Amino acid sequence: MSTKLRKNEVIASFEKKMMTGSSMLVEALKEEKVEVIFGYPGGAILPTFDEIYKDGIRHILARHEQGAIHAAEGYARVSGKPGVVVVTSGPGATNVVTGIADAMMDSLPLVVISGQVSTAVIGTDAFQESDVIGITMPITKHNYQVRDVNELPRIIKEAFHIATTGRPGPVLIDLPKDVSLETGLFDYSKEVNLPGYQPTIMPNKLQIRKLVEAVSSAKKPVMLVGAGVLHAKGSKELLEYAEQQQIPIATTLLGLGAFPGNHELFLGMAGMHGTYAANMAIYQSDLLISMGSRFDDRVTGNLQKFAPNAKVAHIDIDPAEIGKNIETQIPIVADAKEALKELVAQNGVKGQNSVWNEDLKQLKQEFPLWFTEDPTVIKPQQLIERIYEKTNGEAIVTTDVGQHQMWTAQFFKFNKPNRWVTSGGLGTMGFGFPAAIGAQLAEPNTPVIAFMGDAGFQMTLQELSLLQELRLPVKLVIVNNASLGMVRQWQQLFFEERYSNSLVPVQPDFVKLAEAYDIKGMRVDNVADLDRAVEEMLNHDGPVLVDFRVAQKENVYPMVAPGAGLHEMIGVKPQ
């Protein structure tokens, strides 16, 4: 090969890697095997959308940026892959702030790319400028503003690495318009070099040994399992360990599905609207093993009364969570799956907890979740239970936030991981519908059901237009009690029934609304029609919206009132 020819090849190779910032971004997304982007275009991000158009990478045009980011959350929650969001500067960026905070609270891996005004006018209150770096600093795992196009490949690589490793979370890249138009060398390394960010994956074996010994001597052990087990893909190992040691399992709201809901060792969800058996198990336990949960206040109730007799072991990949809310005697920083594998491998002597397990079994039988049927009105629990029965639980379920969320957590049993998509930490109304779209895109062949309140649905109902466009077979279930149900319940119980702005008697015609978007709409207000309507909804090939009119003043029970301990639940049995 002649020197001249080699020189030409080198020049050609170099030119091939010289590209604009927006081209780099799209190339990097392909390198990261991104299948779908959720977003909304605007002035500052137009160069990137032009590259998306030319490249053909799949983009889902939500009808509002909040819809885009919640759809990305649903996609990430079900697929285990990072959700990618692209929005413009100013209002485009601020409209995803709630979703970023939601993903941060629930540890969902997102990479959010926001357009920004040109670097020359940053800080001048330019048109559609907002300080998205300052705004999102406390609600992202990390954020970047790109000032040099040559830094962009490294930043994108790091963003995906940070979002998906350790405790997952959202990472934001703020991309000024002029940087997206500048040309630089695209060198997308396979390696990430972040000396200050090295999550601890493997557990300390001596700490695991301490836990094994604690389990062997315990008479009343219980495990509290959170979403960390799901993020670690550790459900199989959790089942193996629980059965090996015969330890009963309670989960957090977000931990549902990490352990089979129909297993004899499963006690149910713990916390404010958890089961009596799960809460009493925690209260009476002598060894509490928390795994991938962060002792949220909705789980603990009054901290002074939480698990007063228990030695606490806390396994979490985020060391900042250990000891934050609950004093911990056996701290273990590790990936939940790796910790479970080591616990199974050490195969300690089983504790003397057979009597304890029998006592808890009796509690489950004596204090089941309950509701009273009424032939004149559909009870919301009845609706959710009926849909669970008709689907045999073989569905991905998303919810909004409020009473219907708690009833779904109680009455829809999750026997597989990653079938439950809800906003746990931030409690974001308007989450459930767009999250269902993202979930359906992640698993096109699995039925997806979105349970929503009538109020929450109206916060993001513009995504009916997206559903109309994509023709995804999502089933939209409006649990319509014509009120902000959980607010109304608290006003009834703790504010002497002063229903300040919680009743919503004026409603749109949801059936006509669905039909306006060429989506099948149904209304059901009669118990006698419930079974037929549920079957018709599930058997419909395309998207369908059903407005189920349910009892307005039904309350979620049992309940731990504010300031009470887990053992002080009210409404554990029908009055």
Whether residue 411 lies in the annotated active site: no
Angle at 327 between CA 321 and CA 332, to 5 degrees: 55
Instruction: Give 418's DSSP letter.
Output: T
Beta strands in 83-164 (DSSP E): 83-87, 110-116, 142-145
- Whole-angstrom Cα distance, residue 483 to residue 35? 39
**Residue 39 has which token pair?**
């977003």
Residues sharing a CB contact under 8 Å with residue 98, sequence separation 6 or more, in sequence order: 66, 69, 426, 428
Segments in 95-145 forming alpha helices (H): 97-105, 132-136
Segments in 471-544 forming alpha helices (H): 485-494, 510-516, 530-539
Identified catalytic residue from 14, 127, 494, 495: 127
Instruction: Give 497's DSSP letter.
Output: T
- Would you say 74 and 442 are in contact if contact means Cβ atoms under 8 Å apart? yes
Identified catalytic residue from 17, 128, 390, 522: 128
Identified catalytic residue from 486, 537, 559, 569: 486
Considering Cα of 411, then 442, then 77, then 405, what sign does the dihedral take? negative
Residue from 422, 413, 388, 382 nearest 263 by CA: 413
Cα–Cα distance list, 322 to 288, 452, 563 (Å): 14, 34, 23
Residue from 330, 47, 344 nearest 207 by CA: 330
- Whole-angstrom Cα distance, residue 565 to residue 300? 8
Quickly tell me which residue has 């979703």 as its tokens.
99
Helix (H) or strand (E) holding 38: strand 37-39
Per DSSP, the three-state class of 215 is: helix
- Whole-angstrom Cα distance, residue 361 to residue 368? 11
* Bridge partners for 173 per DSSP: 113, 144
Identified catalytic residue from 65, 129, 158, 554: 65
Whether residue 65 lies in the annotated active site: yes
Per DSSP, the three-state class of 452 is: strand
- Would you say 422 and 399 are in contact if contact means Cβ atoms under 8 Å apart? yes
**Residue 193 has which token pair?**
């070099």
Residues recorded for the chain: 575
Whether residue 177 lies in the annotated active site: yes
Q: Is the peptide bond before 558 cis (omega within 30 degrees of 0)?
A: yes
- Whole-angstrom Cα distance, residue 326 to residue 405? 26
Identified catalytic residue from 141, 157, 177, 379: 177
Residue from 171, 161, 213, 166 nearest 192 by CA: 161
- Would you say 55 and 49 are in contact if contact means Cβ atoms under 8 Å apart? no
Residue from 492, 429, 425, 423 nearest 455 by CA: 429
Please give the single-letter amino acid code of residue 141: K
- Would you say 160 and 32 are in contact if contact means Cβ atoms under 8 Å apart? yes
Please give the single-letter amino acid code of residue 4: K
Residues sharing a CB contact under 8 Å with residue 246, sequence separation 6 or more, in sequence order: 265, 350, 353, 354, 357
Could you list the active site residues?
Answer: 65, 127-128, 177, 486
